[in-house]
Amino acid sequence: MHFNTDLLLLARESRGYSQTELAKRAGMTQETVSRYENNSLAVAEENARKLAGALNYPLEFFSQDARVYGAGITFETYFRKRTSVGSLHLRKVQAQMEVLRLRLDRLLRNIELESEFNFDAMDIDEYDGDVERIAGLLRAAWKLPPGPVKNLVGVIERAGGLVIHFGFGTPKIDAASQWVRGMPPLFFVNSSAPGDRQRLTLSHELGHVLMHRTMSANVEEEADRFASSFLMPAHDILPELRSRPRLTLDLLSNLKVRWRVSMQALVRRARDLGVITENEYRNLFIEFSRRGWRKHEPVEVQHEEPKLLAEVLTTVLKTSFADVGDLAKALLADEEDLRQQFPLGPTRLRVLSNKRNTGDSRG
Ligand SMILES: [Zn+2]
């Protein structure tokens, strides 16, 4: 059997194991694992089984002739994160995302995803760095009406992008995106982030996917500008930001309900558009801090639920596979793993123990 050692590294990182830890679980030496990963030693069949078992991946997973993106390096993927995320954790989630991508690649191989609109790259350099213009052109291409984007996830899915609510295992990573040739653009959004944060972050990733085919120094700032321009076009939001003599907290909370972005994002937009001065901007943020709103703002924005992947899964389960176990086999995945990553519903009906007889629960 062909054993792809890139996938060994990927699987190990996806579990967050060190070489030593994997070696222990698989009953071999760390040196052996290291030599396997370096491709300096052929993996014997028996050891391949042990490694697969220890990693809880089907043996067939390792026989894929797949190109692995981003394993051990960080260049193919954009992350929106705070710098304090440890590199080990980052590698773990990156590996998990890549495993998911390989599964999606298999899943989508025989499926034509029909979409109303398209993703067409708009390289920032070809637009002289005019991010506002790119955001406006995209809104026009995707036929968005003026005003707030009511459902950003829906908009991206209508253009054929896949949005995945992902457990990053830390609130410090907001999102990541990836556009690999031959696949739809993938957007991984932290499932535990508040709705308004998810939207801004998703819009930021959308900016990367469209504008940045290559890395440069300003990509993060450009993606931020894209995010606010796309969700709050100057032309539409200016009259509303100016609608009273002063940008009050009351007005901001009303605008938050309507535009479905945080008050902080609104205040930043107001400053960038010259509606408020740098001083007013600072005072508003001092006020936010004083009220503890920097971390937890009032006014909840509902999460937008991705639907496209769930639809694909429902369809293939109806037409091509007997059950989830069968699908898992085809995707070279452990069934439980697949259920955790994909919107497939609960594993099984969970029967709660009948507590009435034990007297634990009353009323
Ligand atoms: Zn970014």
Tens of pLDDT, residues 170-188? 888 888 888 888 899 999 9
CA 117–ligand 1 middle distance (angstroms): 24
Mean pLDDT of 15-24: 97
CA 206–ligand 1 middle distance (angstroms): 9
Helices (H) and strands (E) in the chain, counts: 16, 4
CA 346–ligand 1 middle distance (angstroms): 32
Span of 140-144, 177-181, 268-272, 333-337 with lowest mean pLDDT: 177-181
CA 90–ligand 1 middle distance (angstroms): 15
pLDDT value of residue 317: 93
Span of 99-108, 207-216, 277-286, 349-358 with lowest mean pLDDT: 349-358
Question: 10 Å Cβ neighbour count for 51?
Answer: 26
CA 217–ligand 1 middle distance (angstroms): 11
Say yes or no to pLDDT of 278 above 50.
yes
Burial class (CB in 10 A: 0-12, 13-18, 19+), 195: middle
Mean pLDDT of 277-283: 96
Say yes or no to pLDDT of 357 above 90.
no
CA 208–ligand 1 middle distance (angstroms): 7
CB 225 within 8 A of CB 210: no
Say yes or no to pLDDT of 31 above 50.
yes
**Tokens 């990693």 map to which residue?**
55
CB 178 within 8 A of CB 81: no
Most confident of 70-84, 284-298, 340-354: 284-298
Grade residue 270 by pLDDT with cuts at 50, 70 and 90: very high
Say yes or no to pLDDT of 128 above 60.
yes
pLDDT value of residue 347: 52
Say yes or no to pLDDT of 36 above 90.
yes
Q: What is the mean pLDDT of the chain?
A: 89
CA 182–ligand 1 middle distance (angstroms): 22
Non-local (6+) Cβ contacts of 89 within 8 A are 16, 169, 170
CA 242–ligand 1 middle distance (angstroms): 30
pLDDT tens-digit readout, 302-350: 999 999 999 999 999 999 999 999 999 999 999 999 998 898 866 554 4
Give the CATH class of 1-65.
Answer: mainly alpha
Mean pLDDT of 36-64: 95
